[in-house]
Structure formats: structure tokens, C-alpha cells
Structure 1
Amino acid sequence: MQTAGLVRVTITTPHRRIDMALPEHASVAEILPGLLARAGEGMADDGVAGGGWQLRRADGTAFDLDRTLGAHRVRDGEILHLTPRRAEWPEPEYDDLVDAIATGSGRTGKAWGPRHTRRTGLAVGAVAMSFGLLAVLRAG
């Protein structure tokens, strides 16, 4: 349930998880100091070595500091990550082959369409007819 202008999220930091209701119309830059204050003692200082802090989605997409949470389309219940700016975000690991194929095919930009179905159907039909014709000729 979204409350007037607030979005409820979970923020993970290197040391803890924080459940918060954040204003969706405030920029990420305005929200970060409050997040750092609640994330634990010394978090602001720890970020200096890593080039500062940045807010990311679970897939590693970094939030633009000048845009609001609403502009980033953050939804209630979403888990966001507060990470050092220079931290490398790991590539996702898959234990599900179908999920890996779906993600990989989404990156190529071309989706399977009716034209592909038609061509594949014609090719499979031609191969099946060839085998059938070959069987008839051999049976003689």
C-alpha cells in the first residue's frame, strides 16, 4: 500500500538492512545523507575510500543522483542497495537455464517473431518430407 508520496523500500548496506518509507518526489542526492545516517556509524567516512556512495537496483543499475525515486520508477517493496561508487557489481549467476537464455536473448535486441516461426516450420516440414520420400523410395 503506497502512502501519499512515499515509497516503502528496503535498503541493504554493507552492514545492515533498513526498511524505510522515502519521499518519491525527492532527488536521490537529497535522500542519501539520511540513508547514510541510518546505515551505521562511520558510513559516510567509509564511503570516501570508495569514491562516495551510490544507490543501485538489484540488477546493479545505478540511480542518477539528480532524478527522483518516482522518476526511477521505484515501487513499494523494492530492495535497493547502497554501495561504494567504485564497487564492481557482479554479473548475475544463473541456476536456471531458461532464465539465462531469456536474459541473454533480451540483450541481443531481436525477438522471435512470426517470420521466424514460419521459416522454422517450413524447414522442419521440408526435412520431414525428405525423410518420408526417402523411406518410400527405399521400400520401393
Structure 2
Amino acid sequence: MASKLRIHDTCGVHNLHGMPALISAIASAIVAALVTKEKYKSEMTTIFPAMVTTEEIEVQQTQNSSTIILGGYNRTASAQAGYQLFGIAMTVIVAIVGGILTGIVLKYTNVRKLNKEEHHQDEVFWEVPDHKEE
């Protein structure tokens, strides 16, 4: 990222949080696309509540069940996977826009009043013990 895009990831956020989150989000969309009632049985309503039909919610309510199902949008497996992918896209867009705005603020304002020599020097803002052996 540093050599091609001229982006410096100081804390390794991309590798530590970004890529694992993206991989797991894509995996969740694949799982949502492959879900069937035969595989998940009664646990499907807990894992994918938006896939519950309104009829199933009415049956639950007439049986006076203690289980409350939120959702009931009657989504198909492919529709649920589409919502998962849409969530990924929106998250990436918000992250990119937020990162760009933060970069602009830090680059073009007086937020950081450090000289080039002071970058990455803890002594500027922290009390650092001497490393001299006595």
C-alpha cells in the first residue's frame, strides 16, 4: 500500500482488522446464500430472522411461545445474501470516506504542528525514561 497507493498504515489496521473483516463478511454472504430449512432446522429463525415468513410469526404468536422473532421479512436465501453484500459495500464506502476525510484534516490543518524530525518521536508528548545504563 505504501509504494503503490502512497498510503501509510502505521498501526497495521488494514491487515489486523480490514482484511479479516472483509473475508468473514463475504463468507457470511456465502453462508446466507446456501441456507436451507433442512440444514438449519429450528435454529434458522435465530440465525437469519429476516428470512422468517409472516405466517411463521403468526403461528408463534398464537402458540403463546416465549420466543420472540424479530424480522419476518420473508427473504429468500439469495436476497439475504444480497443484503449481506450490500452491508459489506456500505461499510467499505464509509471506511474509505472516513479515512480520506481524516487524512485531509490531518494534512491540511494545524492539527499536527510537528516538524519532520519530530515525527514518530514519543518524547514530544510522553515522558520517556532514559535508556542509559547507570
The bucket for the TM-score relative to the shorter chain is under 0.3
TM value normalised by structure 1: 0.25
TM value normalised by structure 2: 0.26
Kindly indicate which of the two structures has a greater share of residues assigned to helix: 2
Kindly indicate which of the two structures has a greater share of residues assigned to strand: 1
